[in-house]
Structures are given as C-alpha cells and as structure tokens.
C-alpha cells in the first residue's frame, strides 16, 4: 500500500484532503498539523520521514497571510521558502515524491490572457516572492516533484472569501468588493481530489502544473455568484469598490490556464 504524508493537515486544503482520503482506500495516510510536524524544523522533519516510509508527501503547510507577509516577510520566507527547502531535501533523502502547492501570486498580473505553467514569474508581493523561492528550492533539489499552482481557494473549512461573503450577507452587512482583479476561484475540495488523483493514477508528468476549477472572474463577480448560489441576492447591497487598496499589491490578472 502506498503511504502518503500530508503536512499542514489542519489548514483549508489539508482538511479537504482528510475528508476525501476515505475514498482512496488504496492509499495509507499520515496527517500532520503544524504541532506535530513543523516543516521549518529539519530534525522534526527527519524524524517523521524516517519512521514513515512514505511514497508521497503532499505539502499543504504554508504561511498564507498575504497582508501580514508584507509587514513581516521573514515569517513568510521561513515557512514558504526555507521550510519548503527542508521538505524537498528530506524527500530527496527518503526517495519520496513531493506534491507541493503553490500560487497564482507568483505572477505579476500584467499578461492580457491567462497564465500557463511555462510563463515568466515575477511576484509583486512578499507572499508571492516567498512562494516562488520555495518553488525554486524544489526545482533545484528534486527530479520527481509536482508543483501545483492554484488560486482563490474556498471550501467549508477555514477562513475564505466564500464564507466571509455569506457571513456578512447573513448579518445584513452591505458588501463593497473590488472588480479590479481577475482570477479563477477554486474549490479546495476539487484541488484535493486532483492531488490525490495524481497519486492514484501514478502520474509521472512531473514539474509545474496549474489547477483552477472555476471560470475566470473578478472578486465582485464571485461575490455576486456566491450570493446567488446561497439565495442571498437582494438581501444586501453589493457595490463595486473604487480604488480598493490593500497593504500588499495583488496581480490584476492571475487567471491560471493548464
């Protein structure tokens, strides 16, 4: 039976993988949260890998607070770059295939059409830079790896835009949402199924891939769709934000094409 280590198992994607892992009876899973496996701790990682006899590692561990990363970039680099290098080196030592999750924010958003895996990267915020450095470390270290870039994750787990829109609408709060960024909302459950499918199908098309399961839209369009899907249309006012500013710069277009 093939053994699969999942890091960051308490995060949004990690929880989706835990949920559907039951449908993959041919795989044996070991789930680790940040409390039982800190990917920035090489000793801790070595211990877990030595005991585990894993065939695959799905790295869901990440520093994902885009705004905070701008203020304290060292924290983001510690997990998304140095931590990922430790994961890659430990995978190499134990002959484990790494499936790592990366982001649409490795792109600067100036392309007029969607981004392909081979397109030039040029992150414009610290989170994106730290994630790109993680990708580079993996490419320098391993031959058998998948880097799966994804975008705008939502699910029933964790904090995400989908849940925030529903919560605000149910509380009767009007919504002002930017229409200045285009991307592909992606259900984290679909991403979880895709990643486990790579293992199930013994995929060998190693390298960088893009996975997004929704059509391209703006955050404003996405909010509109969320309200419609949950019969909340008309309950609150939905306006387009003019000159919406966040601390971290965000790519205007981060549509991912396969």
Ligand X SMILES: NC(=O)c1ccc[n+]([C@@H]2O[C@H](COP(=O)([O-])OP(=O)(O)OC[C@H]3O[C@@H](n4cnc5c(N)ncnc54)[C@H](OP(=O)(O)O)[C@@H]3O)[C@@H](O)[C@H]2O)c1
CB of 135 to ligand X, least distance (A): 11
Please state the closest distance from residue 188 (CB atom) to ligand X, in A.
6
**Which positions lie near ligand X, rule CB under 6 A?**
7-8, 10-14, 34, 37-40, 60-64, 79, 83, 101, 103-104, 131, 150-153, 158
Respond yes or no: is residue 127 known to be catalytic: yes
89: β partners: none
Q: Which of 38, 6, 142, 123 lies closest to 73, judged by CA? A: 123
- What is 83-114 written as a DSSP string? IHHHHHHHHHHTT-EEEEEEEGGGS-S--SSP
User: Nearest distance from residue 41's CB to ligand X, in Å?
Assistant: 8
For ligand X, the closer of residues 166 and 236 by Cβ is 166
| Given 127, 137, 162, 220, the catalytic residue | 127
Nearer to ligand X (CB atom), residue 79 or residue 208: 79
Q: Is 146 exposed, middle or buried (0-12, 13-18, 19+ CB in 10 A)?
A: buried
Q: How far is the CB of 170 from ligand X (least distance, A)?
A: 22
Q: Round to whole Å and give the CA distance between 176 and 194.
A: 33
Distance between CA atoms of residues 58 and 40, nearest Å: 16
Nearest residue to ligand X, by Cβ distance, number only? 11
- Of residues 210 and 224, the one with the C-beta less far from ligand X: 210
Residue with Cβ nearer ligand X (97 or 103): 103
Contacts 24+ apart (CB under 8 A), 138-144: 138/84, 138/85, 138/88, 138/98, 138/100, 141/85, 141/88, 141/89, 141/91, 141/92, 142/88, 142/91, 142/92, 142/98, 143/206, 144/97, 144/98, 144/206
Minimum CB distance to ligand X smaller for 89 or for 233: 89
Closest CA to 55 of 113, 107, 94: 94
Q: Give how far the C-alpha of residue 100 lies from the chain's centroid of Cα atoms, to the nearest Å.
A: 9
Nearer to ligand X, 61 or 196 (CB): 61
Q: Record the tokens describing residue 141, joined without a space.
A: 């270290």
Tell me how far, at minimum, the Cβ of 15 lies from ligand X, in Å: 8
Catalytic residue set: 127
């Amino acid at each position: 039976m093939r053994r699969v280590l999942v890091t960051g198992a308490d995060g949004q994607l990690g929880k989706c993988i835990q949920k559907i892992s039951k449908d993959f009876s041919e795989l044996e899973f070991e789930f680790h949260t940040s409390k039982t496996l800190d990917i920035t701790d090489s000793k801790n990682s070595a211990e877990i890998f030595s005991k585990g006899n894993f065939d695959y590692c799905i790295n869901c561990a990440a520093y994902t607070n885009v705004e905070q990363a701008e203020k304290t970039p060292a924290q983001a680099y510690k997990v998304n770059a140095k931590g990922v290098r430790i994961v890659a080196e430990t995978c190499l030592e134990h002959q484990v295939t790494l499936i790592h999750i990366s982001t649409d924010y490795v792109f600067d958003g100036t392309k007029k059409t969607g981004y392909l895996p081979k397109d030039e990267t040029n992150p414009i915020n610290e989170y994106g830079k730290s994630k790109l450095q993680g990708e580079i470390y993996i490419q320098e270290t391993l031959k058998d790896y998948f880097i799966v870039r994804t975008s705008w994750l939502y699910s029933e787990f964790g904090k995400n835009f989908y849940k925030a829109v529903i919560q605000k609408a149910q509380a009767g709060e009007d919504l002002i949402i930017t229409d200045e960024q285009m991307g592909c909302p992606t259900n984290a459950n679909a991403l979880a199924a895709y990643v486990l499918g790579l293992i199930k199908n013994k995929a060998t098309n190693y390298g960088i891939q893009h996975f997004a399961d929704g059509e391209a839209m703006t955050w404003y369009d996405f909010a509109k769709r969320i309200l419609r899907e949950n019969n909340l249309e008309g309950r609150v006012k939905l306006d387009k934000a003019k000159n919406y500013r966040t601390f971290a710069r965000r790519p205007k277009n981060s549509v991912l094409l396969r």
